[in-house]
């Protein structure tokens, strides 16, 4: 008798080597394991992520598009240095998008997003643990939830595009 295939939800989720490499490198950059301006070696990354160099190259390409790193010809991958001017401009853009979202939510009397309370609780825990990387990620998720709650998919996409920067 044939063994039935488990439902899709019960199947283990397998991520590609490229996705694993991308997440590992991105998280290492966000944690500060690689300093701004530091060059990161493709061979060493492939060993640390336990994959071949091709998925690492794919991950680095994606990280460049998302502005975590710069790929420099004949030099390799370098963690981007974010200038004060760039940071100020990013926050100005975020304020514009968040303000528009809040205005729309208030006009509709839509209340807070469902995820807001849980995210605030998680942020408090991360703050108490002084886990600032987790706190920053949760803070972005909180603000992104507000922007998504507004209901404008284009604004939400623009907001999400600012996240890696």
Q: What domains are defined for the chain?
A: 9-79 (1.10.10.10), 84-162 (no CATH)
Give the pLDDT confidence score for residue 7 in this predicted structure: 56
Among 13-17, 81-85, 93-97, which stretch is predicted with the lowest mean pLDDT? 13-17
Burial tier of 56 (Cβ tally within 10 Å: 0-12, 13-18, 19+): buried
Residue 3 has pLDDT above 50, yes or no: no
End-to-end CA distance of the chain: 54
Concatenated DSSP letters for 126-150? HHHTT-HHHHHHHHHHHHHHHHHHT
Q: Is the pLDDT of residue 104 over 90?
A: yes
Residue 154 reports pLDDT greater than 80: yes
CA separation, residue 161 to residues 7, 118, 132 (Å): 34, 24, 21
DSSP 41-85: -HHHHHHHHTS-HHHHHHHHHHHHHTTSEEEETTTEEEEPPPPHH
Contact present, 69 and 77 (Cβ < 8 Å): yes
Tell me how crowded residue 73 is: count the other CB atoms within 10 A of its CB.
5
The secondary element (H helix, E strand) that includes residue 108 is: helix 84-108
Phi first, then psi, for residue 52 (nearest 5°) are -75, 175
pLDDT attached to residue 27:
87
Q: What is d(CA 111, CA 123) in angstroms, rounded to the nearest whole number?
A: 20
The mean per-residue pLDDT over the stretch 68-85 comes to 92
Full-prediction pTM beyond 0.75?
Answer: no
Give all strands of the β-sheet with 39-40 in edge-to-edge order: 39-40, 76-79, 69-72
């Amino acid at each position: 008798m044939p063994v039935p295939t488990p439902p899709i939800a019960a199947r283990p989720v397998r991520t590609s080597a490229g996705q694993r490499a991308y997440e590992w490198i991105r998280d290492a950059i966000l944690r500060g394991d690689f300093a701004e301006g530091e060059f990161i070696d493709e061979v060493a990354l492939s060993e640390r992520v336990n994959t071949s160099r091709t998925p690492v190259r794919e991950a680095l390409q994606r990280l460049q598009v998302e502005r975590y790193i710069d790929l420099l010809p004949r030099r390799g991958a370098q963690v981007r240095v974010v200038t004060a001017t760039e940071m100020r401009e990013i926050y100005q853009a975020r304020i514009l998008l968040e303000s528009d979202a809040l205005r729309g939510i208030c006009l509709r009397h839509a209340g807070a997003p469902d995820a807001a309370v849980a995210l605030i609780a998680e942020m408090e825990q991360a703050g108490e643990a002084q886990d600032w990387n987790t706190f920053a990620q949760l803070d972005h998720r909180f603000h992104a939830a507000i922007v998504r709650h507004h209901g404008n998919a284009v604004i939400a996409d623009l907001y999400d595009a600012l996240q890696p920067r």
